[in-house]
Structure 1
Amino acid sequence: MKDDLFGATIGLTMTRRRLLGLGLMVTGAAAVNVVPGFLPVAAAQASVPPAAQKIADHFSSVKSMTGEFVQFGPKGEQTGGKFFLERPGKIRFNYDGANNFKVISDGQSVVLLNKKLQTSDLYPLSKTPLKLLLEDRIDLSGDRVKSVKEEEDLITIKLSDKQVFGNSTITMMFDPKTYELRQWTITDAQGKDTTVMIFNTKEGVSFAPDTFKIDYTANRELNVNKGMR
């Protein structure tokens, strides 16, 4: 259970590495294959399609959002719950199920919290692909863009930041008409995917001050106590 997070699912088997597995743990490599409909790396960097940048700009302009999500892990595991997003850097996932599992980013760190198992795993946000999703502005320039795929009903943008989290990537899928984010997939260094689909979303919402709060003292105490067992 402790080992699966974003990357698999709560209530089913999950690996901590996958939620930061959502995909978040990184390293690894992978050259982008040239797939029909995709711009290869060099072309994507040289000329980002205007529609893709417009969509990225629109999503960047969404400063707060809430809704429901369904998550699919690398082995087909499925779970769901509610999410809360506040740009820049803040997101919270409350997973359904008896484990009372939560993932919270306060803009600096990401914590994976399982109250039933009394585990609290902390990671720097800057070292996870979630950083690209939660930035104040999604910048498609430079070498972050791995590929852009335009279809009639979907625009797919694949991003990475090798200097920050190796060859893990985040692939975001948007509605080309409404510019709404539909889902994202985080691929880890081993090529394992964790996909999150969102729905029933509301934008421009306000949250309680403690929505994205991480209790760093409780985190330290849990991990100290765990080390003494």
Structure 2
Amino acid sequence: MWRIKPLKLKPLIALPMALAVPAIAAPAPESTSLQAVQDHLAKVNSMTADFSQTDRNGKVLTGKLTLKKPGKIRFQYEKGVPYLVVSNGKAIYFIDYSVGDEQRYPIGNSPLSILLDPSRDASKFAKIVPTADPRIVSVEAYDPKNPQYGRITLIFAKQGSAPGGLMLEGWVTLDAQGNRTTIRLDDQKFNVPVSDRMFRWNDPKRAKRPH
């Protein structure tokens, strides 16, 4: 699908199981259902978090994630990184200010739609994936009719204080070419006030014009 050429990144479209906590010996716990995951997603109207992104080559970038339903998300990369990933509620934009390039994709074409579109019935495109650790809940989502959209594996930790008793720790995305990207989250805050102004951005073509 998309690619940020200078670092050969494919932001937010792929994840390895490195997010999972190391396996521990424990009695078989009560399994977490997909409905419990849907309940968690339904209770999250907004979220902020610090993120780290690891691409297929091991390159790591960090930044700030802001999410607001329906359909809005922003990945603001660390200072000095000329990229921005942002959705205005209708489409996701991948912006490279270093070359003045902007790529646009409908939200429904992205695995991230499971986080952004509260109207989607996850039972039609997602499933619980067994893990060795009873504290971890893993959910794989993809559209078998549109494999070109890639797939996403969401990683949750069971935590009573989080919405629905689940804390989103990150995700792994895998695109149609097999490229994997990992997002890890930290300092998650749920249902905090978020202004719609967070999802505006500067025109990358204007930013490249000589002064």
- TM-score range (shorter-chain normalised) is 0.7 to 0.9
Greater RCO structure (CA 8 Å; 6+ sep):
2
Q: Distance in 2 between matches of 1:54 and 1:14?
A: 36
Distance 2:130 2:70 in 1: 26
State the Cα distance separating 1:126 from its structure 2 match: 1.5
Match of 2:102 among 117, 120, 127: 120
Deviation, structure 1 residue 61: 1.2
Aligned to 2:185: 198
Amino acid of the residue matched to residue 196 of structure 1? I
Tell me the equivalent position of 1:148.
129
**Match in the other structure for 1:4:** 4
| Aligned position for 1:188 | 175
Cα deviations across residues 155-196 of structure 1 (Å, max 9, x unaligned)? 101011133453611100101234010011110112221010
The 5-angstrom pairing of residues 1-229 of structure 1 reads: 3-4=3-4, 13-15=7-9, 18-19=10-11, 22-23=12-13, 50-136=32-118, 139-142=121-124, 144-150=125-131, 151-166=133-148, 168-178=150-160, 179-213=166-200, 218=203, 222=205
Give the 3-state SS of the residue equivalent to 2:113 in structure 1: helix
Q: For residue 214 of structure 1, report the CA deviation from its aligned partner.
A: 5.4
In structure 1, runs of 5+ residues without a counterpart are: 6-11, 25-48
By how many angstroms is 1:106 displaced?
1.1
| C-alpha contact (below 8 Å) 2:94/2:104 kept by paired residues | yes
Q: Distance in 2 between matches of 1:137 and 1:157?
A: 18
TM-score w.r.t. length of structure 2: 0.76
Take 1:126 and 1:167, find their aligned partners in 2: how far apart are those partners?
A: 9
Alpha-carbon shift at residue 107 of structure 1 (Å): 1.5
Count, aligned residues: 185
Unaligned runs of 5+ residues in structure 2 are 15-30, 161-165
Q: Superposition RMSD on alpha carbons, in Å? A: 2.7
